[in-house]
Structures are given as C-alpha cells and as structure tokens.
Structure 1
Amino acid sequence: MPRWRIPLRAPVVLASAGLLLAGCANPSTGSADDDPTKPVTITFWHGWSAPGEVKAINDSIARFEKLHPNIRVRATGNVSDATVNQALRAGGDEAPDVVSSFTTNNVGQYCDSGMWVDLDPFMKKTGLKKDEVFPRSLLNYTSYQGNQCALPLLADAFGMYYNKDAFKEAGIARPPKTMSEFVADSKKLTEKSGNSYKRVGFMPNFRLYQNSPDRLFAQWGPTYFDKSGKSRLAKEPASYEFFKTARKLVDAQGGYDALEKFRTSFGDEMSNQNAFLSGKLAMHLDGEWRGLMLDDAKAKFDWGVAPLPVPDDQAETYGRGYLTGTVAGIAHSSKHQNAAWELVRFLTADTDQVVKFANAIHNVPSTYAALKSPKLDADPTFRTFLDIAKNKYSQVLPPSTNGGMYIVQLQDFSYSEEAGDVPDLKKGLKRLDRLIDADTLQSKN
C-alpha cells in the first residue's frame, strides 16, 4: 500500500530536484558489459517502509537470489526520489544499481536526464517483448519520447467506495454510472445536522485525502499536451465539463463554504477517523488499498466498490479510472547493468513474482499474465480494481520533462476555482497553460 503515504504536493520538491538533474552532465558512466552469470553484489533502493511491505520486498529478493545464486542484492528501503536523485548526480560506488519510485510523474525527468538507462536494449537482448507483457497504459507512464527508462512494478487504480447501508436508506439501488446520476445521488445521500452535516454524499473538495483533481478529471479522458508538448487545458473541452460538474457537486450539497468547514472536521486519512470509515461520506474516491484498511478497522457498515462515474456523453467508457503505480529502472552509473537488469526483469515481468507481490501488498498487478492469474486475491472488491486497470479507457498522466509540476499547478488552480476565486474559467485556464509551458521551458534549459 505505498502511494497513499505520498502528500499530494510532493511533486514540488521532486520537480525541483529534477530540474537539477536535467541540467547537469552525467557525473559518471556505468557499464552494460558485465557478465550477469558471475558473482556480484548489486544495490536496490526502494521506498517501501511499512513492516508488511518490507517483508514482501525482502521475500521477493529471496526468490530472485534463489533463481540467481550468483547475484546478491543489498536492499535499502524508505528512500525518497530526492535522495535517489542526489545519489545518481553524485555517482560513485555509493550510488544504487536498481532504483524504484512511487512517483510516475517524474518519469519524464528520469528518461530525459539520462539518469535512468534506456531498458529497450536489455529487453531486446533477453527477448522480453514489452508490448506483449505490459498493458499499453502502463508502458506510457514508464517512458518518455521513446525512451523506456522504467518498467511498471505493480499499479494503483482509483475507483469509488460507497456505503451500501446509506444507499439502501436513501432508496438508491446501485452506485451512479454517469455524472448526472453522481450529482443527483450525492444530493440525495447528504444529511444535514443543524448548521452542519451528519453526512455528505460525496465530498468534491480537491484538498480531501486522495481527491487530487487529476484523478476525477481522468474520467473525461483529457489531453493535457499537444503534439509539440505545450499545455492545452484551455483548448480541451473536457476541462470545462470537469469544472462544471465539480461545481454542480458542490452546489447540490450546500456550497463550498459549508462543505469546506465540514471537511476540516475529518480525521486523518489513515486513521480510524477517516471520514468514509466514520460514516461522514457515503461515496469516496480512493485506491485499491483502502479495502484492506476497511476490513482491518472492521467497518460498521456494509460497503462496496465501483468504478467512478463517467460523463453522460461517454457512457460507453464506464469502468474506466485513473491509474498510477511504482516504477523500476537501472541507474546510469551502475557498473553492473546486466545483473541489475536481471533483478528488474524478475520484479516486473515474472508472472509468479508479480502475483505474489501484488497479493502481499494488495496492489494491482502490472502485467497481462498476472492480471489474468487464478492465483490473484479473489476478493471481489479487489477484482473491481483489476477490471479498472484492464479497461481500455483508463487513463494515466502523460510524462513531462518538468516532472509533476504541471499537476501541482493544476491543483493550485483547482483550489482557487472551487473556492470561487476564478471569475473567468477560460482566462484562468489560459494562464494555467502559460505557467505550465514556462516551467517546461525552464526545465529544458
């Protein structure tokens, strides 16, 4: 359950680190001439830190070392992207060989800077056909301008958790499939308590937990950049429909000020005071990991999972969702790149390994074969997220050389827009495009 621990605004720091990466010369050059059958020790830096996660990754390494007894893996966990970037810039023997990241937003920087090596030559050399192994959507967020510098290492899919008891009380037979149903059901499920609320149907505020605007925006299937790499949010019809729907959700449930005041009463996302767990939300956007947490907390109501609703004029896309995930690659400074590739290939493409790891940390598998495996967790709520991951309309964020900065800028704009501080949406989106383009240009210089 890795990604939920990352603050939504984390890309600010990472993007700044990425600007340093993109502008520096490679301090040292690794080697792909090593013999992976010879005894060697390689280092693997990753971000997992919870005891169950660390056990799962250590078990994975033990399985790898059993298959490759000549390769010893020295793993270091709880490592941030900023730390990895600093080590790769410095180079030397202390830099890692294999690296992983929870931040798919930064893949454009990893590839463009050359700090993570292109994996296509390794795949060609060992016969791994990536288009037959990995879903296209996941390959899209692990490459940049033709450079496949990373591969997916499990994925996250976002859907909607809903309180079945609340739905039954409100006389609603099933979760909403379209945005118009979403607005109507949210209003019907909202219960006032004096000047505040007992419960809201769906909290649309973008500062809530996992409600980063890009995640709901994905239901429209927007195009963020044109072919030349310039931001086109002001030219994207979906932008206007998205913010219009968000406004309808707010107005249907009492207005921004009242909802924002209620939101500030919510407990911590990862505690037993989580607003959905405590019954203050009837519907909630979240990832596949939330199901385990609801079970562990012994939720006092019957709950279910469904895909998020889609625009009324895109009903055929229902089942789609927002996808992200962990990525893995090889450091440019590694002098054991062939041995490092053996570990990357095992962690990302070995079906049995991917399934075991997915079951252990309750994340979505990232290969076609693993997604179809009968050994996967049979929990029907988890299966819903597998279906979202397999849906051809599900969307990932496009990589950018400025990392996740454009998403941070979208967040800031969305906070202002929902609070009523953007008097002209078109002008506001044009200004947002200019800001994104300026940062992209700066990152290239």
Structure 2
Amino acid sequence: MRRESFRRATAAAVAGVLAAALGACGGSDGGDDDKVEVVFSYLWAGAEAEALEEIIADFNASQDEIEVRGVSNPDFQKQLTSMSGAQGSFDISDHFGNGVGAWASKGILAPLDDFIEADGLDTDDFVPAAMSQMMYEGQTYSMPIALHAQLLMYNKKLYAEAGIDGPPETTEEWAEQIAKLTKRDADGTITQLGYANAEINTSFTTLGVMFGGAWDDQSGRPTPADPGNVAGLKFYTENIPGTYGVAEVRDFTSGFGEYASAQNPFYVDKVATIIDGEWQSVFIDQYAPNLDWGVAPLPYPAAQPELAGTTQVTTSTLFIPRNAKHPEEAWEFMKYLLSEDAMVRFTLALGNLPARISLLDDPRYDTLPQFSTWLDALRSPNAQSLASTPWSAEYTSDLGQAFDDIAQQRTSPAEGLADVADKASSYAP
C-alpha cells in the first residue's frame, strides 16, 4: 500500500484489491482483513505503556485502514536483532537521540526525509537541540516525541534552615551554598550534602556545558578535553570530594535509597541540590508529595553571563527500521504520535517535555508542579544536546569510566578527560 492511499480514493481502491489478494494467498497480517497491521514495539512499560496503549487505541479508532498493535519490549538487544534480518518483526519503535547516529550508520534505520517532504511536516517547530540528534550525514532518521532538560533542583526546607533565600544565579554563589548546606557530625561524618549527582554521566556532562564546554565539535568528533568541560568537573571535585573527602562522600552516598522511590536522597532531606530532569515533577508528586522543593535555571560562571539559560537536552525518539514490513503505514502512525494533541497526551502521561516549540505554552502542562521552568529551558539558545554519532556508545562508555575515576579522585579532571581524548582519536571515522 502506498502512502498516497491515505489521500486518494483511487489509490485506496487499488490497495484494497492488493490487500484482498494477499489475504487470499495467506499473506494477511492477522486481525481485520481490511486493515494493515502495524507493529509498534516500544520500550516503555507499566503505567507509561498503559498511557501509550490508550493513544494507540485512539489512532486505531480514528481511521479504518491501519490497525496498530503495541508490544511492550524494553530490550535494546531484541530491537537490534530484529532490525538485522531481511524482514523485521516490527514497523516502528522508539529509542534515545544519542543512538540515532550509531544505528543509522549501520544501515538499519529508514530515512524519513521523503515522508517529511511529501507531507509537509514542519520540522522547524521541533526544538533545534533535539532535531540535531535526529540527523546523520544530512538525512533524518528519527523524530523526537519527548524531550528532557537538566535543571537545578533545590530543597526549600534545607535552604530555609541554612538561612539561604533562594537558588543560586552563578556557580560562585552555588559553591557558597553547597558549603552552607553540607552538614557533618562531631566525628566528621557527612549527614547532609549540599550537592550530589542524581546520575553521574548526565550530571557531569551538564556541568561541562554549564561552564561553556562542548563534548563534541560541529562535525560530531568528541572534544572531551574542552576547557569548559574540565572546569565543570573541577567545580565538582573542588566543592564535594576535594572538600569533604572521597571516602566520606562515598560512605554517605552509599546509603542512598532507590532513585524512583520514597527513599530518594533528595526527597528525604539528605541532599539539598541536584541536577535532574522534568520527570521529577511527576516523581515527587508520586513518592514525596509533601516535599517543599523548587527548580531553577542552571547557574553560570559570573564571568560568563552569556551562558545563562544553558541546559542539556536529551530526547526520546521514534524511528522506522529499514526492514519494516509496512513503512508507509508506520509513518502515518508516527505522524499521529507527533501531532500536537497526541504529543501533549503522551508527554503529560510520562511527565516529559514536548518536542514541539508550539506546545511550550500549552496550558495543559499547568497540571504538573513547577513544570514551566523546564518548558522555558527549551526556548534558550543555550539548550544543547550531545552529538549522535557512530561512536556514541563507545564515547559514552569511555566518559563513564573517566567520570568515575574523577569523582573518586583517582585522576584529575584535566588528566581524565585528556585520556578520553586520546581514546577518542582512534574511534572509527
């Protein structure tokens, strides 16, 4: 069935004849013989999957040519296995933006540019930092359905106890606040930390961009030793392990409860500030509804006010595998998911940010506590994302090891990131 069958009655009639012939030959995908079955293999599970299934049901009810069957399959390896064969087991799926380049370079993703052009999809309405991850060698291989932005979250109760009026504007102010918000008992044991990483890889890459660093150049080649990256990680080591001791910080953080639980250290007053994403608006309402918290733009170095509004953007994306049985129909469903109404419903259910600029003022997001600060962050010209390249996974792994060594002060930020730069020079072009 061709894409034009959704617009022209003559093509629809031809497609109907072909579908009937295939059905007579045992070629039906099952279900309603008058519909083409599109398999949507998605990574979400639990409540998120339930919300997605409602949207799938609405799409199926909205037209009579396609029947989407959702399959919750949170396993990247199974995705890759399916996409490596001559004919895949699904027609559309989701991934994360930093993986687009790696998968596109393997030839397992279908380019979307012809679909985008034919339907006049306005890609300018999508946040630029997100769209930059959708491209590989000048072609579009994925589209963003939801975004995530890193901002500074702070515990208002701990701020009040420390006599601090509000969140910092500059990194210098933040360093002073971290000192006031960190507590130790008589024997030096840490009982409260002014700042702790919610997740070290994302927190450290965000610290780098906060100080004007870039983890990739314009061509996508890794630039881990950028001076701004070094300065960001130096800020952490000087203000946390360098001040309070590696062993002491490790002992304190080893007692942290599960991230997605009521025992999250930020929820139970063990940590005063964190860098984290918009989903916390939903998490806090679920796990710590009585927490008095706030969220603010990331601080910037006082000498670099042009960095105000910096944030790191990550993306949840939709793609069509090159070996999909029904790519045209999969695109019709992808368009539906990317439509304004479906995108709002989907991101609200997950507590994520919309990928469309036109939705940043949508009043439906007012139901999520303090969500507007994250929405506003996407408007900033300093919103940026890591490059999506064939070597993204290798680079991420090397950075992860270096970040751990730096946090444990087994190496300095300059030495650790220089070592990653040496490794990155051998990544395949």
Matches within 5 A, 1:294-443: 294-348=284-338, 350-422=339-411, 425-438=413-426, 440-441=427-428
Cα deviation 1:384-430 (Å, max 9, x = unaligned): 1111222221121111112332122112112112322225x545433
Q: What letter corresponds to residue 44 of structure 2 in structure 1?
A: W
In the alignment, which residue of structure 1 is the partner of 2:93?
Answer: 99
Residue 253 (structure 1) shift: 4.8
* Structure 1 position 267, deviation (Å): 1.0
Q: Which runs of 5+ in 1 are unaligned?
A: 1-30
Amino acid at match of 1:291: S
Counterpart in 2 of 1:165?
A: 157
Match of 1:41 among 37, 59, 71: 37
3-state secondary structure, aligned to 2:392? coil
Identify the residue that residue 19 of structure 2 maps to in structure 1: none
Q: Cα deviations across residues 308-365 of structure 1 (Å, max 9, x unaligned)?
A: 22222332433331111210011101232111111111112x1111111121221101
Contact kept? 2:97, 2:130, Cα under 8 Å: no
1:143-162 deviation per Cα after TM superposition (whole angstroms, max 9, x unaligned)? 12212100001111121221
Secondary structure of 1:223's counterpart equals: coil
CA contact (8 A) 1:111 1:147 kept: no
Partner of residue 86 from structure 1, selected from 76, 81, 85:
81
TM-score (structure 1 length as normaliser): 0.84
Q: Distance between the aligned counterparts of 2:269 and 2:48, measured in 1?
A: 28
Partner Cα separation in structure 2 for residue 63 and residue 392 of structure 1: 36
Structure 1 distance, partners of 2:248, 2:159, is: 23
Three-state SS of the structure 2 residue aligned to 1:141 is: helix
Distance 1:417 1:76 in 2: 41
Offset, 1:252: 6.9
Alpha-carbon separation, structure 2, partners of 1:374 and 1:228: 38
> Of residues 36, 56, 80 in structure 2, which corresponds to 1:61?
56
Q: Structure 1 residue 225: deviation in Å?
A: 3.1
- CA distance 1:136–1:287, shift in 2 (3 Å): same
Q: Any idea what the Cα deviations from partners look like across 1:228-274, whole Å, max 9, x if unmatched?
A: 5543323x221221122112221575122211110001111112211
What SS does the aligned partner of 2:374 have?
Answer: helix
Amino acid at match of 1:99: S
Aligned counterparts of 1:410 and 1:312: Cα–Cα separation in 2: 27
Q: Does 1:77 align with 2:72?
A: yes
User: What is the CA distance between 1:380 and its match in structure 2?
Assistant: 4.7
Asked if 2 retains the 8 angstrom alpha-carbon contact of 1:54 and 1:77, the reply is yes
- Deviation digits for residues 174-198 of structure 1, max 9, x if unmatched? 1012111111100001111233122
Distance verdict in 2 for CA 1:78–1:210, change over 3 Å = farther
Out of 189, 194, 197, the position equivalent to 1:196 is 189
Equivalent-residue separation in structure 1 for 2:281 and 2:201 (angstroms): 15
Residue 57 and residue 287 in structure 1: after superposition, are their counterparts in 2 closer, same or farther (change >3 A)? same
Deviation, structure 1 residue 32 = 6.6
Residue 27 of structure 1 is matched in structure 2 by none
User: What is the CA–CA distance in structure 2 between the aligned matches of 1:33 and 1:316, rounded to whole Å?
Assistant: 46
- Identity, % of aligned positions: 27
Report what 2:104 is aligned to: 111
Distance 1:32 1:87, change over 3 A: farther
SS at match of 2:336: helix
2:176 matches 1:184: yes
* Residue aligned with 1:384, SS: helix
State the alpha-carbon separation in 2 of the partners of residues 69 and 342 from structure 1: 12
In the alignment, is the contact (CA less than 8 A) between 2:94 and 2:316 conserved in 1?
A: yes
Match of 1:28 in 2: none
Tell me, yes or no, if structure 1 residue 276 matches structure 2 residue 266: yes
User: TM-score of the superposition, structure 2-length normalised?
Assistant: 0.87
1:20 maps to what in 2?
none
SS at match of 1:75: strand
Q: 1:373 to 1:135 in 2, by over 3 A?
A: same
Counterpart of 1:90 in structure 2: which amino acid? G
Partner of 1:26: none
Distance in 2, matches of 1:211 and 1:273, equals 21
Partners of 1:48 and 1:54 within 8 A in 2 = yes
The reply to whether residue 242 of structure 1 matches residue 232 of structure 2 is yes
Q: 1:278 to 1:385 in 2, by over 3 A?
A: same
Classify the secondary structure of the residue corresponding to 1:285: strand
2:216 and 2:283 map into 1 onto residues whose CA distance is 36
Equivalents in 2 of 1:278, 1:58: separation in Å? 34
Kept in 1, the 8 Å contact 2:230–2:417? The answer is: no
By relative contact order (CA 8 Å, sep 6+), the higher-ranking structure is 1
CA displacement at 1:73 relative to structure 2: 0.4
Which amino acid in 2 is paired with 1:43?
V
Coordinate RMSD, CA, aligned: 2.2
- Give the gaps of 5 or more residues in structure 2: 7-11, 16-34
Of stretches 368-377 and 171-180 in structure 1, the one that deviates more from structure 2 is: 368-377
Q: How many residues align?
A: 402
1:32–1:335 contact (8 Å) kept in structure 2: no
Instruction: List per-residue Cα deviations over 1:168-223 (Å, max 9, x = no partner).
Output: 1111111012111111100001111233122111125xx85775422332323433
The SS at the match of 1:431 is helix
Aligned to 2:80, the other structure's residue is in SS state helix
C-alpha offsets along residues 291-319 of structure 1, whole Å, 9 cap, x if unaligned? Answer: 22222234444111112222223324333
SS in 2 for 1:168: helix
